[in-house]
Amino acid sequence: MSDITQYSDDQTAQITVLQQQQSLFTQALKAAVEGHWTGAGSVEAFLYALDPNLQGTVTPDVPVTESEYAEDTAEDPKA
């Protein structure tokens, strides 16, 4: 983390908020890579933490893994 003592109080507050937002975005990306789309510690939860106004508007379309495809059909179950 950089030394923010040379900035004004307002700039320091803005930098702190940006660092918190960056942390939430990073955690959301990690959750996506790990397949955590809903619930605690999920992409959905981190998006709500970034913008509480999104409550009730985010409807994640959880990806289907290859192992979830029916073996006897080549049809995409999400189609």
> Could you read off the pLDDT of 27-44 as tens digits, one per residue?
999 999 998 988 999 999
Instruction: Decide: pTM greater than 0.85.
Output: no
* Among candidate residues 34, 35, 2, the one with its CA nearest the CA of residue 18: 2
Domain that holds residue 34: 13-55
The pLDDT-based confidence of 63 (bands split at 50, 70, 90) is confident
Tokens for 5, please give them: 């003592």
pLDDT of residue 64: 72
Taking all residues of the chain, what is their mean pLDDT, rounded to a whole number? 83
The pLDDT-based confidence of 26 (bands split at 50, 70, 90) is very high
70 inside domain:
no
29 inside domain:
yes
23 inside domain:
yes
pLDDT of residue 60: 79
DSSP code at position 65: P
Q: How far apart are CA 66 and CA 1, in angstroms?
A: 40
Determine phi and psi for 40, rounding to 5 degrees: -65, 140
- Please identify which residue in the block is written with the tokens 């660092």: 19
How many structural domains are present in the chain?
Answer: 1
